[in-house]
Structures are given as C-alpha cells and as structure tokens.
Amino acid sequence: MSVARQDFTERLWGSFKRPEGPEPSRRKAFAREHIPAWIAIALGFLAWLITLPPFLVRTWIPSLILGLIAFTLALSTLYGGEKRYGAWAMIAALGGTAGAYGATRSGVANLEAVVVWGALMAAMLRYATPLTFAALGGLVSERSGVVNIALEGMMLMGAFFAAWGADKSDSWLIGILVGVLSGMALASIHAVFAVSLRADQIVVGTALNFIALGLTGYLYVDIYGDQGTPDNLPQVPELKLPTDSLGFIGEAISNLNLLVWGSLLAVLLVWLYVFRTTRGLRLRAVGENPRAVETVGIDVFKIRYLAVIASGGLAALGGAFLSIGFVHSFGENMTAGRGFIALAAMIFGRWRPWATLGATLLFGFSSALAQRLPEFSEQAATLFQALPYVLTLIAVAGLVGRSTPPAADGVPYQRESG
Amino acid sequence: MSTDATPAPGGAPAGPAGGGGATVGARLTETLREGGPLVPVITVLLAFLAGGVVVALTGHDPLATYKAVFEGSGLNWLLPWVTGEDRDVAATNLQQTLIITAPLILVSLAVGYAFRAGLFNIGGTGQYIAGSVIAVWIGSTMAGLPGWLHIVLAMVGATLAGAVWGGISGGLRATTGANEVITTIMLNYIARWVAIFLFGLGGPLQNSAQPDVPVSNDVVNDAKLPVFWGDPELQGLHIGIFVALAAAVVYWVLLNRSKKGFEARAVGFNPEAARYSGIAVGKTYFLVMATCGALAGLAGSLDVLGWQFRIATNDVQATELGFLGIAVALLGRNRAFGTCVAALLFGALLSGTSVRNLDPSVFPPELAQNLTRIIQGLVVLIVSADVLIAMVFKRVRRRREGAPVGAAPAEVTV
C-alpha cells in the first residue's frame, strides 16, 4: 500500500520535486521556507475579509490583486518542494479570491445580517465544544493504539445520562458526573472487547454505537415519553466576563458556557499530559510499538484500558455539554453524527491536540455560518453542512499533506506466548 | 468454499500472529468459518436474551413483547394453524417484512463483499442514497418510455451511481492508502447533504408541483415495480425481492466461482501475499468497493421504484439501512445464503416493531424500535468477539476428537 501511495504521490507531484538538499524539518511550523506560504494564507484571508463587514469593499479588484500575490507565493512554495504548505496556500489564495467575489456580488444588507463577527465567533466556540471534547477523547484512545469509532455512542450516553442525572438530582454538576460515568462505562466495554478479547476495534465500535443509540432512545422514551425532558432541567451556567467593549473577540467571549472554557482547558491538559509527561510518552509509545514498550516492563493492557476509558469520559463530557449546556434538553439521537465529525477533526488535526482544536474550530465555524446562512440562501447553507466532510475526505486522501496515524493504531496487541 | 486459503491446522488462534495479514476481512473470514451454523444461532439467541433483560428491567413483559413483534412481522403466516382474518393480517405484515428484506439483502451483500476483501464498507448508507437519488430522478422524468425499459434504466442508473460512490473510497484506498472506514463515513454525510440540497426547498430536483414541500417528484406509474402479492394500492409485495435474491446468487458465483472473487478473497486474506502472487491489489480494492456500491445503489432503486416513489429530505436523514447491513453481513458471515436469512430476521424485526404493525397495547412501538437497535448492536458486539467464539469451538472440537484440551492454542488473554 505504501508503495502504491508513493507512486501516486510522485505521479501527482512529480514536477514539483524539491531540488537537491537536506530534508526540510517537519516539526518547525515557522521554518524559513514556510514564510511565503504563511503570507499567502494570510493574504488569501485578507482578500476575503476586506469585502465583509465592517470593511465592505464593494469591488473585488483589490481582492483579486491580493489573491494573485498569494497565488504566486503559493506556486513558488510548491516549486520549492513544500507540497503541504504550498497546497494550503493555494487553497487559501483561490478560496479567498472566490469568497471575495461572492461577497461583492451579494447585497450589503445580507452580508451584515450573516456576518456579525462577535456572534459568529461565539457560535463557533459553542459548536466546536462538543467536537473538541470528543476529538480529544479519540486522540487519547488512538494514541494508545485503540481506534475509537464509538465516540458517537459515548457522546450520546453522556448527553442522555447527564440530562437524566441533572433531572433526578436537580444539580448540573451531578448531571455531568453521571454523564461522564456512563460514557466511561460504555468505553469499558470497548476496552474489554478491543484490548482483552482482541476483537476488531471498528466492529466493536460500530456495535457500541448501535447499543448506545438504542439504549438512550429506549430509556428516553420509557422515562420521558412524549413530553420530553422537563423544561426546568438544571443547566451548566454561563460565565459572564466584562469584555464587551473589547471588540468582537470581547463580545464573543463575554457570555460563554463554563464547559466551553472547559474544552479549551482540556486541550491544554491533554497536550501537557500526552506530549510533556513521562506517562504521556508511554501512552504514545504503546500506540507506536507496544511490544517494545512491554519489553521494558510497562503494562500495555493497563495503559490501553485507561486510555479508552478516559476517552469515553471526554466524549461523554462533549455529549453532556450538548444536552445540559447547549440545547437544554435531550432528544433521541441528538448527537446526530457529531462523534464522527470529531473523529474527522482528530484525523484532520493529525492526532495532535492543538491542530485538532484548530480543526474543531474550523468545523464549528462552518456550522455557525451554516446556521446563519439560511437568511441569505437556504441552499448554500445546506451545502455548507457538507464542508467538514469534504475537507476531511481531502485530508485523509493525503492530497494536502498526509495524516499518519500512530503505527499500532487499530492493531490488537497479543502478548508473546511462552 | 474449499478454495479458501485456510490457515495451517493447529496454527495460531484466530487473528494474525503478527505480519501483514492483519486485515479485518482476514480475521473475520478465518474465524467465522469455525463452528458451523450454530454460532449465528447462539449469537442471535444471546442478543435476544439480553434485549429481553432490558425489556424486563424496565417493567415490561419480554415474552409478550417478542410474541407481538413476531406477529407484527407476519412470520406467523408460515404457521399453518393461523387462519381466517388473522391469516390476512399476517399476509399483509409479511409483505411489509419482505419489502424491507429486499434492499437489506443487497446492502448487506455490499458490506459482506468488502469484508471478504479485507475492507470495511460503512458507506452502505451513502451508496444507497446515491442510488435512490438517481433512481427517483430517472423514474420521475422520461415519462414516455415503455415501463420495463424505464425500470431497467432507473435500476442501471442507480447501480452505476452507487458504484461511483463506492468506487471513490476504493480508488482512494488504492491510490493514496486512505482508510476506507473514514472515507466511507465521510461520503455518507456528503451524500446525505447533497440529497437534502437536491430535494430541499428551491433545490434542483425538488417537487415542481409543491414548491413548499421538501420532497422529490413522484416516480411515474409506468416506472413502478409490479406488485405480485397483495394489493398494489396498500403497498403489496413488489418484485424487488427477486432482484435481491438474484443478486445473492450472482454474489455467490462472483465470490466463489470467478477470478475477480478469488482475487478479492486472496487480497482480503493477505494483501502482501496476494501482491507477490501477481494480483493487482489496488485495482482489486477499487473494483470491490465499486461492486459494493453497485449493490447498495441497486437497493436504493428497489425502495424508490417499489414503494416509496418519492424521496423527502426526512427520508434521507432517517435512513439507517447501511448500518443495519453491517449487522446482517456479520451475522450472515458474509455469505450469500447466510446473509439472506439474516436479512429476513432483521427485516422481520424492523417491520415487526414498526408503528404500523406492532400492537401498541402490548408494547409501545417507539420503545420496540430502540429495542431493535439494541439487539442489532448486541449481535455485532457478540460477533466481533471472534476470538472468544473461535476459542470455545476449538476447545469443543478438540475435546470431541479426543485431543487434550491443554494443547489448544487458546491462551488468548492473560
């Protein structure tokens, strides 16, 4: 497979081969050869931005010029052999110019109705939060070498049981706790089958998604019937900040749910844990080469169990935010595929916390925009909903940079007998 | 079946002992061969038992529930002592069951064929949607055509659309190595949103007579599949079931008696070995996924031309057929006959728990539909523990053959 992939890449990018010289460092985002690409990306965005409120340039000539400069920079990056950065720069240049053209062709009133930056940013953060929690869960699990396609089911468990727990105990905190525990319970089943019984992880995950969907739907209908969850469901409080005067960013963050901040904190914590601690190193090592880890006396099974269960807790937290932080009720199948988008965000973010956050914010932004676009064009809004999936398809296809999973991801570990 | 590459007898327990053969399909085909037809029966019984526990725990009567579901599915028509009016009701219910069974067989074969080639096709839903969109488009236009030609055209179009949708995943897997699980999931959602765009308000294929209803145009009368059992006005059984059964026969021939099928199985068993023996693995991936997509796309055309006749955006959002196909394929062990039986079981469950067929005084249909999902999940979960099942059966077999149990290579977990 890797041979086929290499052949294809060469065929596709053959003419853009980097000239002789040392391999560029992959880790440094701001290496010298990447600067033109970053400028091109910035210019592409700028080209689009100047046609939107509050700037509202009504002719697309300036955007075209900016776009052309960005295009040239992108081309030069491609010829320099930096395929990934060059491709992104190219997308930014073309997309920015196209967006600018579209914006200059639509009415000012429409633009001002759709593009309210403060509200858009706040909505972006809200839509991104459940995805961020779940994607972090997926990241922890897959870094340990267990594919977790049951994120969807774990979110759904979290969403239902958080609502149920909050309703029964009259406390949102206990609701969250119950929700997280339910996600962990489902994850424990995943761990038993995927780690101990070495069942196929994707098949188990699919099974758990069915079970979570059926179980939450069953209990919901049985407990709440036609009435739905009560209106006075305890809610996770909003955190009010006196930042309204600080421009649109201030507006965006002045009134956000506690769990939105929690998700950002979770990114920081997961990053610190996975990439800056010894235990995190072990976790990643188990995902890359479990046998080597075991030879130095570390328990592979234990690490995988803990990672999968933690993953369930994180995903359930995202579900809990949905039901008692965002929508304030529970409905059957309310996650509606968000677990799969989270999975996509994690792949898009290349199994790294900050890049994953970037992906969830991007997906959150496209949801926020899709929610506001119907005032402008119903059909455009519908097509916009498909954007995260198309982007992910492009990302996994490796056409724009390659997403390489942990080496032992999805491979059940078997101890050597004897 | 004897042409299957079997592992060395007494070798490692199910699953790859390291090395390159670690594909889903290899593990499944290898282990599911253990144990004969008894394993799926045990699986189903266990799943129903666990589902019954859920029913009992929430204060309902499991036996009465299952009996009502059984009667709702119309399978009691097969019992000779059901007569009179009961028999007529049963016949109507059985027609509904078989209407659901037909596309389910096709979607499940689409999952099963991919499994045999070591691929996991979660994209049945997207391929089904692609097929049904094209079927409704062809079926609702070209009104002048003769009926049979119109039907064939719509079916072929749907099959091709599904093949394209599946082929994208296969092609990406072959050229870039993109994991087909991820790409098929993404293509499901893309198909879904594109269909909602097409049939949504103001969409290009939205109903021309009712501009404020998000639904497609109706399939013209000539392009509807003929009904051969029951009243055509009351959604009698259309001939789609024969199309599905014919596809199952083709599936068996393709898989077991053709070169392409052999290559698919070889790739599924061990892609590296297949490559060394001269099989074009990438091309096989593409062809297999395109074939799977074709089967699922055909399923879409059966529903559209057989009983739906139009697609609303709600239908597109609600379809779970592709996921159901995974459970059916796993239960039917990716084989033609097994898949048909498993599809009948799940078709019966679906129609038996539908609002239309289940007696609400015995058990609320809304609950029963979720019960179906639980049972479905449990079936997949139990089948997934291939090692467990294989281990049990190896032990039993060894004991029967008189070999010491201790010699069984079944030290799976510690």
Query: Cβ B185–A397 below 8 Å, yes or no?
Result: no
Q: Which of B58, B202, B387 faces A197 most closely, judged by CB atoms?
A: B387
What three-state secondary structure class fits B310? coil
Instruction: Kindly tell me the burial class for residue A171, based on how many C-beta atoms sit within 10 Å of its own C-beta (0-12, 13-18, 19 or more).
Output: middle
Q: Which of A193, A219, A396 faces B384 most closely, judged by CB atoms?
A: A193
- Does residue A139 share a domain with residue A208? yes
Does residue B204 fall inside a structural domain? yes
- Does residue A146 share a domain with residue A88? no
Residue A244 CB-half CA count within 13 A: 3
Last residue of some domain: A88, A112, A136?
Answer: A112
Q: How far apart are the first and last CA of chain B?
A: 34
- Does residue A121 share a domain with residue A44? no
Instruction: Write the CB contacts of A412 (distance below 8 Å, at least 6 apart in sequence).
Output: A194, A195, A198, A199, A200, A201, B15
Number of domain units in chain A: 2
- Does residue A129 share a domain with residue A63? no
What pTM was computed for the model?
A: 0.82
Q: Are B255 and B116 in contact (CB under 8 A)?
A: yes
Domain that holds residue A103: 16-112
Q: Are B131 and B164 in contact (CB under 8 A)?
A: no
- Does residue A212 share a domain with residue A101? no
Cα(B269)–Cα(B264) distance, rounded to whole angstroms?
9
Q: Are A157 and A314 in contact (CB under 8 A)?
A: no
Residue A397, φ and ψ in degrees, nearest 5: -70, -10
Chain B residues near residue A390 by CB distance under 8 angstroms: 186, 190
- Which H or E run contains B237? strand B237-238
- Does residue A299 share a domain with residue A190? yes
What three-state secondary structure class fits A148? coil
CA distance A218 to chain B (A): 5
Q: Note the pLDDT of residue B284.
A: 94
Q: Note the pLDDT of residue B397.
A: 67
Q: Note the pLDDT of residue A417.
A: 63
Question: Which of these ranges, A14-18, A139-143, B234-238, has the smallest mean pLDDT?
Answer: A14-18
- Calculate the average pLDDT of chain A: 83
| Identity at A121, one-letter amino acid code | M
Query: Cβ A415–B414 below 8 Å, yes or no?
Result: yes
Residue B2 burial (CB count, 10 A): 5
| Interval A78-85 mean pLDDT | 77
Q: What is the 3-state secondary structure (H, E, C) of B259-309?
A: HHHHHHHHHHHCHHHHHHCCCCHHHHHHHHHHHHHHHHHHHHHHHHHHHHC
Last residue of some domain: A94, A112, A130?
Answer: A112
Query: Cβ B17–A149 below 8 Å, yes or no?
Result: no
Q: Which of A149, A344, A382 faces B200 most closely, judged by CB atoms?
A: A382
What three-state secondary structure class fits A200? coil
Does residue A88 fall inside a structural domain? yes
CA distance A114 to chain B (A): 20
Cα(A235)–Cα(A259) distance, rounded to whole angstroms?
11
Token look-up 């049951």 returns A150
State yes or no: pLDDT of A241 exceeds 50.
yes
Does residue A417 fall inside a structural domain? no
What three-state secondary structure class fits A346? helix
Q: Which of B175, B380, B387 faces A198 most closely, judged by CB atoms?
A: B387
Does residue A37 fall inside a structural domain? yes
Q: Where are the alpha helices (DSSP H) in A80-200?
A: 83-105, 108-114, 117-143, 151-169, 172-191
Of all residues in chain A, the percent with pLDDT exceeding 90 is: 33
Cα(A60)–Cα(A16) distance, rounded to whole angstroms?
31
C-alpha closest to that of A192 among A207, A178, A180, A177: A207
- Does residue A152 share a domain with residue A58? no
- Does residue A87 share a domain with residue A63? yes
In b/e form, how buried is each residue of B318-354, taking b as 16+ CB within 10 angstroms? ebbbbbbbbbbbbbbbbbbebbbebbbbbbbbbbbbb
- Does residue A266 share a domain with residue A159? yes
Provide ipTM, 2 decimals: 0.80
Chain B residues near residue A392 by CB distance under 8 angstroms: 182, 186
Name the token pair of A393: 């398809």
Last residue of some domain: A112, A129, A160?
Answer: A112
pLDDT, tens only, A64-75: 888 888 888 888
Cα(A258)–Cα(A262) distance, rounded to whole angstroms?
6
Does residue A42 fall inside a structural domain? yes
Name the token pair of A172: 């949102």
> Which residues, numbered 116 to 155 in chain B, qualify as contacts with chain A under a Cβ-Cβ cut-off of 8 Å?
120, 122
Give all strands (DSSP E) within A221-280, no chain letters.
Answer: 238-240, 255-257
Q: Which of A203, A215, A411 faces B22 most closely, judged by CB atoms?
A: A411
Does residue A100 fall inside a structural domain? yes
The answer to whether A416 faces chain B, any CB pair under 8 Å, is no
The segments of chain B whose pLDDT lies below 70 read: 1-36, 386-414
Does residue A412 fall inside a structural domain? no
pLDDT, tens only, A252-279: 777 788 899 999 999 999 999 999 999 9
Chain B residues near residue A389 by CB distance under 8 angstroms: 186-187, 189-190, 193
Cα(A141)–Cα(A308) distance, rounded to whole angstroms?
5
Q: Tell me the Cα Rg of chain A.
A: 23
The answer to whether A222 faces chain B, any CB pair under 8 Å, is yes
Chain A residues near residue B200 by CB distance under 8 angstroms: 378-379, 382
Strand B237-238 to strand B227-229: parallel, antiparallel, or no bridges (unpaired)? Answer: antiparallel
- Does residue A392 share a domain with residue A266? yes
The answer to whether A57 faces chain B, any CB pair under 8 Å, is no
Chain A residues near residue B196 by CB distance under 8 angstroms: 382, 385
Does residue B179 fall inside a structural domain? yes
Where on the phi/psi map is residue B168: left (φ > 0), alpha (ψ -120 to 50), or beta? alpha
Does residue A94 fall inside a structural domain? yes
CA distance B117 to chain A (A): 14
Q: Would you list the DSSP string of B88-153? A: HHHHHHHHHHHHHHHHHHHHHHHHHHHHHTT----THHHHHHHHHHHHHHHHHS-TTS-HHHHHHH
Q: Which of B54, B323, B384 faces A203 most closely, judged by CB atoms?
A: B384
CA distance A17 to chain B (A): 18
State yes or no: pLDDT of A13 exceeds 70.
no
Chain B residues near residue A196 by CB distance under 8 angstroms: 413
Number of domain units in chain B: 1
Does residue B353 fall inside a structural domain? no
Q: Which of A206, A379, A398 faces B176 most closely, judged by CB atoms?
A: A398
Q: Which residue of chain A comes nearest to B370, CA vs CA?
A: A214
- Does residue A34 share a domain with residue A156? no
The answer to whether B381 faces chain A, any CB pair under 8 Å, is yes
How sure is the predictor about A102, in pLDDT bands with cuts at 50, 70 and 90?
confident
Query: Cβ B201–A378 below 8 Å, yes or no?
Result: yes
Domain that holds residue B213: 36-47+99-332
Between the alpha carbon of residue A362 and those of residues A124, A140, A345, A356, B136, the distances in Å are 8, 21, 9, 10, 35
Query: Cβ A217–B385 below 8 Å, yes or no?
Result: no
CA distance A23 to chain B (A): 22
- Does residue A237 share a domain with residue A154? yes
CA distance A260 to chain B (A): 26
Does residue A187 fall inside a structural domain? yes
